[in-house]
A and B are shown apart, each in its own frame.
Chain A
Amino acid sequence: MSTSLYATFTVADRYLGVPVARVQEVLREQPITPVPLAHEHIEGLLNMRGQIVTALNLRARLGLAPREAGAPSAHVIVLTDEGPLSLLVDALGDVVTVHEDRFELPPDTLQTDTRHLIKGAYKLDDALLLDLDLDRTLDFTT
């Protein structure tokens, strides 16, 4: 029975995760420089130890309500072909072990326009962990 490790985080009460292999690191709240004229899902740029990283607003990407002003946030830095990219999330969670046989496809009732971003759900003992399709999530510019 195969298992894998997932880095988890929450976005507007959604409990989401991505494979740890795709995650470079996580950061607590960072000052962000907005980029005018950029794609609406781009939150801005942040300084990660001298390297400039683009932050993607995951709430916007998932079509969820914007974060309230002053609400806490955190960054999940994921590795992409174009270098690191930050997923702006509400809060960070633990790294959890998921079992493949406890995976299920998303229910048909899931909202349609961002449904393709969720691969499915892992049934954990105390919660449902949504498996975020990272590649599709990052493919928003086209």
Chain B
Amino acid sequence: MSNDMDEIVQEFLVESYESLDRLDGDLLALERDPHSKDTLASIFRVMHTIKGTCGFLGFPRLERVAHGAESLLGGLRDGTIEVNPPIASALLATGDALRQMLNNIERAGTDGDEDFLHLVATLERLRASAGATAPNRIPATPPSPRKDAPVRPEPPQTTEPVAEAARASVADANIRVDVAILDNLMTLVGELVLARNHIAQITAASDHDPVWAAAAQHLHAITADLQDGVMRTRLQPIHTAWARFPRVVRDLGMALGKQVRVETDGDDTELDRSIIEAIKDPLMHLVRNAVDHGIETLEEREAAGKPPEGVVHLRASHEGGQVTIVMRDDGRGIDLDKVRARGVERGLLRAEQAKKLSVHDTIEMIFLPGFSTMDQVTNLSGRGVGMDVVKTNLGRIGGSVEVTTTPGKGTTYTLKIPLTLAIIPALLVTSGAQRYAIPQVNLVELVRATPEQIEQVHGAPVLRLRDRLLPLVYLASELGGEVAEATTHHVVVLQADDRRFGLVVDTVTDSAEIVVKPVGSYLKGVDTFAGATILGDGSVGLILDIIGLARRAHVLTKKQERELAELYDHTEETETTGVSLLVFSDHEGGRMAIPLELVTRLEEFPRTELEAAGPFPVVQYGEEILHLVDISRLMLDRRRTSRTDGLSSAGETLPVIVYLHEGRRVGVVVGQILDVVRHDLVELQPGTRPGVAGTMITQDRVTEVLDLPQILSDWDEDALAALTGVELSA
């Protein structure tokens, strides 16, 4: 019995809360438009229902208040009273009182001990003073009844029709639609896209019969328009994702003894519902993170000469088919040295690596799982969970996040988000006998490579792509199959998070719009696939999850990962112009550099492998003999100063740059390979000696960029001379 009762009360509470939420809006609407019968009827119904139910459930105080309001509303409904501000206020106050009592019921099970006698009296007075007829209402408010009577009705007559017409048109132009209906429509459009793809395939197979082709073309156009239209219906302003932020930030700031406010721009920027859902949490995390870590305490801000109140600024805008969200705080910025130190501490990199780590790469570390620079773990953030999740979650929907920071000035996060998820453009590839779809958003370019072009870095296959080393992943072997022998490999260059890699597939068949469909929970553990789709011929195709795949493929040994990362990260900076330069030292620590594209390979030869052959030592290099010449010796003739020859003094192994010079490989022995940097050759300072194309500064050291072709051409003559015994330089 009591259980049944509880249930009824619960239902009553839920219903009443919902009704009261509507009531406020209805009352405000009624105040603007006192003649709306529908609005009035709706309000009356709410009050009547609450009164009736609480009478039955035994909440006398609640019933009395609701009854007072109902009586007043009855008068309004019957037209004996007209709405005026005091009446609206009293009804709004009734709503608040009812809420308060409902709260009490929820908490304590009774409607409380406050009687709201004053409110009940007011409601009664309003009802009575307005009387049974309209004229009676007039003396109650205006001071001069006779004058006011003709005047008051007039404004409604002149202004109201216009306003009403405007409102009516707005009401006519907007309807509320259940989200489920929209989702269903989207699904159906998805089916239509698939059907269209199927028709397109049949048309292609029919040798483009003109009748078929025209019909298919028509279908294609209509489908595209419909898809676009339905997509629009699902758009929501981004405001819905960040509406709660001001409150959260205020509360969080208070808890931390900080003053923070949120500013937003581009609130109307529209995104698909599902995307908004997907970015809500990552955004929230970034905002909390900014308040917690970014914004300083009041004292710190004062000391830094900043206004006491910190600002978290959010801006959303459409940019080329995607949405960009920029979140900026004016806090302390990210302490890069701290991040580096933490990276070393956590064994993510070595101390000497940390010193060389670029700003970009350092910031990237904050997205690693379990990474936090907070000395003190607060209960809000700083637990080392979150930033990696932010990145992963954004990645899952094809988005990305980039960070820039200025110490003392603040940090900026730039998020790039696709507009929709349900139907995506994809590239279809085959591996083994199966077809797979790759989301276009991950796609960078397509290249072909012969087996000879694929090289190894510590067992990890790489491809040189415009002087950058691209790690390769064989789809077939990642999926547990055999890599097929081929004369040409198709390499799909992909971007996952900030990593770029080449996916080797058997063939690239087509690009198509695909409908992402969920795969059941039985495949949840397989993170290589983002879902499945139905292909043009009706069969099921799997959609590759590029991030999952990259993660899986990078299950290399720690050493491989680090070495690959070292080579890779340095060449990663796509934004900077210029060419990649290989920086090395000679045996006295002089820094030199040559364009990386001139380098065939980097090798290390044990000293014991050197063989004497003429004036220059050689080593066996594959099938051929590689002549070695020391960098100091190459430069010696130019400077005419005494230098140490690496060939006679260096350690157990010789670092050698293998260089293809006029069809012949030459090994240049150097002191140490240091780095790969990007530098614009136009910006070089002029060189100070022959053979030097110019100088630049790398890591605060003067570095000479060598004109190796020229040097070697000159050396060739010398070498020739040496071999033939003719001393030209004498």
Is the Cβ of A42 less than 8 Å from the Cβ of B522? Answer: yes
Central interface residue in B194, B480, B521, B522, by most chain A CB within 10 Å:
B522
Binds B, one of A28-36, A87-95, A104-112: A28-36
B590 CB-CB contact with A under 8 Å: no
A53 interface residue per 8 A CB criterion: yes
Quick check: is A118 within 8 A (CB to CB) of the other chain?
Answer: no
CB distance from B538 to the nearest CB of A (A): 6
Which stretch of A7-15, A43-51, A66-74, A123-131 is in the interface? A43-51
How many whole Å from B525's CB to the nearest CB in chain A? 7
Q: CB distance A52 to B519 under 8 Å?
A: yes
Rounded to whole angstroms, the CA-CA distance of A47 and B198 in the bound complex is 14
Nearest A-chain residue to B480, judged by Cβ: A36
Choose from A36, A45, A83 the contact partner of B479 (Cβ within 8 Å). Answer: A36
Chain A, 21-42, contact with B by CB distance < 8 Å: what is the 0/1 string? 0000000000111111111001
Contact mask for chain B residues 465-495; partner A; CB cutoff 8 A; 1 contact, 0 none: 0000000000000011100000000000000
Could you say which of B525, B526, B539, B540 has the most chain A C-beta atoms within 10 Å of its C-beta? B540
Chain B residues 485-538 with CB under 8 Å of chain A are: 517-523, 525-526, 528-529, 532, 534, 538
Neighbouring B residues of A54 by C-beta, 8 Å: 519-520, 522-523
* Closest A residue by C-beta to B541: A33
* Majority secondary structure of chain A interface residues (helix, strand, loop or mixed): strand
Contact A33 B540 (CB under 8 A): yes
- B528 lies within 8 A of A50 (CB): no
The answer to the question of B434 belonging to the interface, with a C-beta cut-off of 8 Å to chain A, is yes
Beta-carbon contact of B526 and A37 below 8 Å: yes
**Chain B interface, number of residues (Cβ within 8 angstroms):** 24
Query: With an 8 A cutoff between CB atoms, is A82 at the interface?
Result: yes
How many residues from A make CB contacts under 8 Å with B? 24
Q: Does B283 contact A (CB under 8 A)?
A: no
Which chain A residue lies CB-closest to B523?
Answer: A38
Evaluate contact between A45 and B528: CB separation under 8 angstroms.
no
CA distance A42 to B517 in the complex (A): 18
Q: Does A85 contact B (CB under 8 A)?
A: yes
Would you give the shortest CB distance from B494 to chain A, in whole angstroms? 18
Proximity string of chain B (29-71) to chain A, C-beta cutoff 8 Å, 1 when within and 0 when not: 0000000000000000000000000000000000000000000
Q: Is B542 an interface residue (CB 8 A)?
A: yes
Known: A50-B191, A52-B517, A52-B532. A39 touches B540 (CB 8 A): no
Give the distance in Å from the alpha carbon of A36 to the alpha carbon of B528 in the complex: 9
Residue of B nearest to A138 (CB): B522
Choose from A31, A36, A44 the contact partner of B481 (Cβ within 8 Å): A36
Cβ of A141 within 8 Å of any chain B Cβ, yes or no, is yes
In the complex, the answer to whether A82 meets B521 with C-beta atoms within 8 Å is yes
Closest CB of chain A to B183's CB: distance in Å?
A: 15
Tell me the dominant secondary structure on chain B's binding face. Answer: mixed
Measured between beta carbons, the chain B residues less than 8 angstroms from A56 are: 522
**Which among A38, A52, A83 is the interface contact of B540 at CB below 8 angstroms?**
A52
Contacts of A35 in B (CB 8 A): 519, 523, 526, 529, 542
Residues of A within 8 A of B194 (CB): 50
Complex Cα–Cα for A32 and B3 (A): 51
Q: How far, in angstroms, from A28 to B156 measured CA to CA in the complex?
A: 71
Asked if residues A31 and B520 are in contact (CB atoms below 8 Å), the reply is: no
Least Cβ distance of B9 to chain A in Å? 31
User: Which of these, B518, B525, B542, contacts A141 with CB under 8 Å?
Assistant: B525
Q: Is the CB of A46 within 8 A of B540?
A: yes
In the assembly, what is the distance between CA of A102 and CA of B492, in Å?
A: 62
Contact check: which of A32, A42, A51 meets B523 at CB < 8 Å? A42
Q: In the bound complex, how far is the Cα of B520 from the Cα of A39, in angstroms?
A: 13
Q: Taking CB as reference atom, which chain A residue is nearest B538?
A: A47
Q: Which residue of A lies closest to B190 (CB)?
A: A50
Q: Which of A47, A53, A82 touches B539 (beta carbons < 8 Å)?
A: A47
The answer to whether A33 and B542 have CB atoms under 8 Å apart is: yes
Q: Is the CB–CB distance between A33 and B434 below 8 Å?
A: yes
In the complex, the chain B residue whose C-beta lies closest to that of A34 is B434
Chain A residues with CB under 8 Å of B517's CB are 51-52
- The residues of A that contact B538 with a CB separation of less than 8 Å are 31, 47
- Chain B CB within 10 Å — which of A38, A42, A56 has the most? A38
Q: How far is the CB of A80 from chain B (nearest CB, A)?
A: 8
Can you name the residue of chain B whose Cβ is closest to the Cβ of A84? B520
Q: Report chain B residues within 8 Å CB of A45.
A: 519, 532, 540, 542
Asked if B534 contacts A38 (CB within 8 A), the reply is: no
State in angstroms the CA–CA spacing of A83 and B526 once bound together.
18
Return chain A residues, CB-CB under 8 Å to B480: 36-37
Known: A35-B529, A36-B480, A37-B480. A47 touches B534 (CB 8 A): yes
B519 touches A82 (CB 8 A): no
Complex Cα distance, B541 from A52, in Å, reads 10
Bound Cα distance A74, B526 (Å): 26
Q: Given contacts A33-B532, A35-B526, A36-B528, list 15 more A-B pairs with CB under 8 A.
A: A31-B539, A33-B539, A33-B542, A35-B523, A36-B479, A37-B480, A37-B528, A39-B522, A45-B542, A47-B538, A51-B517, A52-B518, A52-B532, A53-B520, A82-B521
Q: Can you report 8 A-B residue pairs in the complex whose CB atoms are below 8 A from each other? A: A35-B529, A36-B434, A38-B523, A39-B522, A47-B539, A52-B532, A52-B534, A53-B520
